[in-house]
Amino acid sequence: MEVKEQKSLTREQKEAVGILSIGTFLEFFDLMLYVHMAVLLNELFFPQTDPFTGSLLTAFAFCSSFVFRPFGALIFGWIGDNIGRKATVTITTIMMAVSCVIMANIPTYAQVGIMASWLVTICRIVQGLSSIGEIVGAELYLTEITKRPVQYPVVAFIEFIAVLGTTAALGIASLAISFGFNWRLAFWVGAIIAVVGAVARTSLRETPEFADAKRRLKNKFKENNIEEEILKDDVIYNIKINKKTTLAYFLIDCCWPFFSYFTYFYCGSILKNSFGYSASQIIYQNAIVSAFQMLSWFILACISYKIYPLKILKIKVFIFFPFIIFCPYLLNNINNSSDLFFIQLFVAMFAISSTPAIPIFFSHFTIFKRFTYASLIYALSRAFIYVFCSFGLVYLVEFLGYWGISVIMIPLSIGYIWGISHFYKLERESGNYSQKISCNIQLHSD
């Protein structure tokens, strides 16, 4: 079956990319701002404690945004698959705007006591819930309004914007800790951007693929005088999701959260404990690393127009797998902070992830369950990995040294390789792989 290709964006699609990019930038800016400023903000909103309890509070502040994400995935997945993609990306932006306003005005622990701790925790939970609908909603929306091959760089661009938001959060955190910049202003800026983004998103149209599928089903019931409530019993609506495909995508999606945690948080603890880095120095170095990650993901987005995304991921495996094998050895032989900096750079730029093949993964989930499964897999992978890393990695390294990291890295990488192989098989069976190859040949011959 011949699949139509799209080599450039229409004006309406460009506007959609711009509107969704604003929301994604905001979500990750606000989500990661607190994470990277935890060393400062935890002192303002939580009671003074001993160092061990303080480390637990930091871990809790980090995890609170992720452990509730699966609930957000179920809520926004249902909204996205039953009401529409547009409704989801609009609601999540409004939620983030409200949480930003509250964060900008929360009194400190010294002013209202434990109430400050509760308010901050609730805001972090709300931000975590909204972020799951935001990033998946934006990627899914763009996947369904565009076609291959331009679809690949467009969706990957949203991932680039997410990294840009994280980099901006690191920059603001550095200013706040090093130069006394008022962190509350950052949340006010985030709230203003969120309001503007929410208003702008009301102009978005529902994705053609989802709207057309809903319309065809409604017409089917109307023609046969059947109530729409019977929709739940319809064969098309209830196409089962392949369990193997779900597992494959989950294993693929588990990799980047681990390597992100390793790069920015675990290596940050090494800088602090082994080289005496201050919080401001760690944040500054992480900001530089994040900038390089942002550059590498932008390059990935660009080359995905010409090179089949699954092939890009396969190449990244060959580049990165030797590091996975020798990582403990490298960490055991670090002589200075510069050595660790280059390890951080390499992981941030070349670690295995789902970008830029996300549209391919989405395409193998049925339209009426796509949002729920995509968001739930995204949420569960991050909740599982971040919670495990925050509380379990310390004990693995304590008992096994840096080789304890391999206990996580190697199984994750094996699962990733199997997952990529599974989607290669699905693409060949559907004919998309061979069509992409011919598309590349045609592009080169023009």
Q: Which of 26-35, 41-50, 280-289 comes out lowest in average pLDDT?
A: 41-50
Instruction: Please give the Cα distance from 242 to 229 (Å, whole number).
Output: 25
Instruction: Please give the Cα distance from 410 to 403 (Å, whole number).
Output: 11
- Contact between 426 and 364 under an 8 Å Cβ cutoff? The reply is yes
Q: Is the pLDDT of residue 426 over 60?
A: yes
Instruction: Please give the Cα distance from 253 to 358 (Å, whole number).
Output: 10
The rounded radius of gyration (Å) of the Cα atoms in the chain is: 22
Residue 442: how many CB atoms within 10 A of its CB?
Answer: 11
Instruction: Please give the Cα distance from 311 to 432 (Å, whole number).
Output: 13
For the chain, what is the domain count? 1
Q: Which of 53-62, 131-140, 246-255, 362-371 comes out lowest in average pLDDT?
A: 53-62
Closest CA to 32 of 167, 154, 138: 167
Decide if 4 is inside a domain. Answer: no
How many helices (H) and strands (E) in the chain?
A: 19, 0
**pLDDT at residue 445 in the model:** 35
Instruction: Please give the Cα distance from 157 to 146 (Å, whole number).
Output: 13
Q: List residues bridging with 389 in a β-sheet.
A: none
- Contact between 157 and 151 under an 8 Å Cβ cutoff? The reply is no
**pLDDT at residue 416 in the model:** 97
Instruction: Please give the Cα distance from 275 to 336 (Å, whole number).
Output: 8
- Contact between 423 and 310 under an 8 Å Cβ cutoff? The reply is yes
pLDDT tier, 440 (very low <50, low <70, confident <90, very high otherwise): very low
**pLDDT at residue 427 in the model:** 93
Decide if 217 is inside a domain. Answer: no
The Cα diameter of the chain in Å comes to 76
Burial class (CB in 10 A: 0-12, 13-18, 19+), 55: middle
**pLDDT at residue 101 in the model:** 84
Instruction: Please give the Cα distance from 321 to 413 (Å, whole number).
Output: 8
Burial class (CB in 10 A: 0-12, 13-18, 19+), 229: exposed
Residue 4: how many CB atoms within 10 A of its CB?
Answer: 6
- Render 202-229 in DSSP notation, one character per residue: TTPPPPHHHHHHHHHHHHHHHHTT--GG
Tokens for 76?
Answer: 């926004």
The helix (run of H) or strand (run of E) holding residue 429 is helix 406-430
Closest CA to 209 of 147, 163, 156: 147
Tokens for 302?
Answer: 């660009």
Tokens for 402?
Answer: 């840096």
- Domain of residue 322, residue span: 11-206+239-445
277 against 57, higher pLDDT: 277
pLDDT digits (tens, 9 = 90+) for 134-184: 788 889 989 988 998 999 999 999 999 999 988 988 888 777 777 777 778
Instruction: Please give the Cα distance from 323 to 350 (Å, whole number).
Output: 10
Decide if 216 is inside a domain. Answer: no
Decide if 22 is inside a domain. Answer: yes
Sign of CA dihedral 124, 125, 127, 132: positive
pLDDT digits (tens, 9 = 90+) for 306-358: 999 999 999 999 999 999 999 999 999 998 999 999 999 999 999 999 999 99
Decide if 229 is inside a domain. Answer: no
Residue 368 has, within 13 A of its CA and on its CB side, a CA count of 17
- Contact between 347 and 263 under an 8 Å Cβ cutoff? The reply is yes
Instruction: Please give the Cα distance from 47 to 109 (Å, whole number).
Output: 7
Decide if 234 is inside a domain. Answer: no
Closest CA to 82 of 198, 229, 244: 229
**pLDDT at residue 391 in the model:** 74
Tokens for 429?
Answer: 């069976």
CATH number for the domain including 169? 1.20.1250.20
pLDDT digits (tens, 9 = 90+) for 279-302: 788 888 999 999 999 999 999 999
Decide if 226 is inside a domain. Answer: no
Residue type, 33: L
- Contact between 149 and 136 under an 8 Å Cβ cutoff? The reply is no
Decide if 222 is inside a domain. Answer: no
Instruction: Please give the Cα distance from 236 to 231 (Å, whole number).
Output: 9
Instruction: Say how many Å lie between the first and final Cα of the chain, rounded.
Output: 23
